[in-house]
Amino acid sequence: MTAVVTPLLAVDGLQKLYPLGKPAPLARWRRRGAARSYLHAVDGVGFTIGRGETVGLVGESGCGKSTLVRLLARLIDPSEGGIRFDGEDIGAVPARRFGRSARRAQIQMVFQDATDSLNPRFTAFRAIADPLLRLRRLSGAARRARVEEVARLTGLPAELLTRFPHQLSGGQKARVGIARAIAVEPRLLILDEPTSALDVSVQVVILQLLDDLKRKLDLSYLFVSHDLNVVRLLCDRILVMYLGHIIESGPAAQVFAAPVHPYSQALLSAVPKIGAGAGARTQRIGLPGEPRSPIDPDPAICPLYGRCNRATDRCKSAMPPLREIAPGRLAACHYPILDPGAADMPPQPIAATA
């Protein structure tokens, strides 16, 4: 009998709504303030991250990636849905209280801009030591030993620990941010564009460091990035997000080789092909029109409706669920592209895989 493996992180029906403006004057007499509008930043998202797995999260600006990251890091509270970490429902714990939870140390974040995320008044040593004091209650010799240990792990020379952020290079500040995150021995690292502010040559070194730390420390990663080539190289599995929804997921190699959702196909067509000649470049696929409004969206309409050349009347009357269309491949589309050579052919619906 095969044992059931519990994922490290399991997200189900996660939703984050932001109220807009003030309710209409008559709303106080109406049930549940029906006159108020809401921006659906994250809308019914569900996925898992396994132990030791690196999952990439991609999508254009404004699709909800940053809000999703803040929800998973328990910096803000969800409107609906569940977040389970190692089987425990951490989504039910208010964000204010989660900071004092034993789980806080197990989910850490590496921020996009190392300069802005470091306190300019803290030395590198104090920046790394601060979470050890707050979350592990380490002080004195034990705290110093742990700071020096993670500095070695991240390739940060000991003589730099006394320096302030303005005295460090971009790569050195990135190492401080990573050292600070791993100091409390987390199990999941959320990496929000960790190399976007760095020079290309430094990016490569930091990415190699992250890959090395994952293997040494048995970490799981959620890697958020606009650099799709980096995601392809670093990640085991990919989630594609559009207007608050996960619209495709699957093994990185398979998704990049043959995306099955029309939006994923358009997004990945923009990725430069390394080593390909000018004549071998993949044709860029455009999406006409404008994205649908995330304010009070119709729950019966596919978010890509109006921009998709495969859409039919079915797409504006039944929201496509995220479903398995092939082993390990999920897509939220009534007419997924199962044959890349037939992307422009009339769409044919398929039945979900059992």
Q: Where do we find the tokens 């044919």?
A: 348
The pLDDT of residue 303: 95
Q: For residues 286 and 282, which has the higher predicted lDDT (pLDDT)?
A: 286
* Separation between Cα atoms, residue 261 and residue 269, nearest integer Å: 12
**Any idea which of 55-64, 261-270, 290-299, 342-351 has the lowest mean pLDDT?**
342-351
**In terms of Cα–Cα distance, which of 48, 40, 50, 32 is closest to 82?**
48
Percent of the chain with pLDDT over 90: 72
Length reported for the chain: 354
189: nearest Cα among 234, 225, 221, 215: 221
- The pLDDT value recorded for residue 271 is 78
Residue 275 has pLDDT above 60, yes or no: no
d(CA 176, CA 168): 10
Look-up of token digits 């401080």:
176
Task: Write down the mean pLDDT value for the chain.
Answer: 88
Residue-wise pLDDT tens digits, 39-54 = 999 999 999 999 999 9
Q: In angstroms, rounded to a whole number, what is the distance separating the alpha carbons of residues 150 and 181? A: 10
Query: 21 falls in which pLDDT band (50, 70, 90)?
Result: confident
Residue-wise pLDDT for 255-265, tens only, equals 999 999 999 99
Cα 217 to its chain centre, rounded Å, is: 21
Please, is 65 exposed, middle or buried when counting C-beta atoms within 10 Å of its C-beta (0-12, 13-18, 19+)? buried
pLDDT at 4: 60
pLDDT cut 70: percent of the chain above it: 88
Q: Tell me, what's the pLDDT at 346?
A: 45
Domains delineated in the chain: 9-257 (3.40.50.300), 258-290+307-354 (no CATH)
Cβ contact 114:170 at 8 Å: yes
Q: pLDDT digits over 212-236, tens only?
A: 999 999 999 999 998 898 899 899 9
Mean pLDDT of 133-142: 89
For residue 302, which amino acid is it? C
Q: Which helix (H) or strand (E) holds 88?
A: strand 88-89
Say whether 10 sits in a helix, a strand or coil: strand
CB 243 within 8 A of CB 303: yes
pLDDT at 348 over 70: no
344 pLDDT tier (thresholds 50, 70, 90): very low
Q: Rounded to whole angstroms, how far apart are CA atoms 267 and 112?
A: 22
Q: How high is the pLDDT of residue 201? A: 86
Crossing angle, helix 124-135 and helix 170-182, to 10 degrees?
20
What mean pLDDT comes out for the span 179-196?
A: 94
- pTM (predicted TM-score): 0.88
pLDDT at 35 over 60: yes
pLDDT over threshold 90, residue 167 = yes
pLDDT for res 325? 92
Distance of alpha carbon 241 from alpha carbon 287, whole angstroms: 15
CA torsion sign, 120 to 126 to 130 to 132?
positive
pLDDT at 74: 95
Q: Is the pLDDT of residue 188 over 70?
A: yes
pLDDT band at 338 (very low <50, low <70, confident <90, very high): confident
Q: Which of 53-62, 108-117, 277-286 has the lowest mean pLDDT?
A: 277-286
Report the Cα 89 to chain-centroid distance in Å. 19
> If you compute the radius of gyration of the chain from its CA atoms, what whole number of angstroms results?
22
pLDDT at 274 over 70: no
| Residue-level pLDDT at 102 | 87
Residue 312 is predicted with a pLDDT of 93
Q: What pLDDT score was predicted for residue 354?
A: 36
How does residue 278 score in pLDDT terms, banded at 50, 70 and 90? very low
pLDDT for residue 3? 58
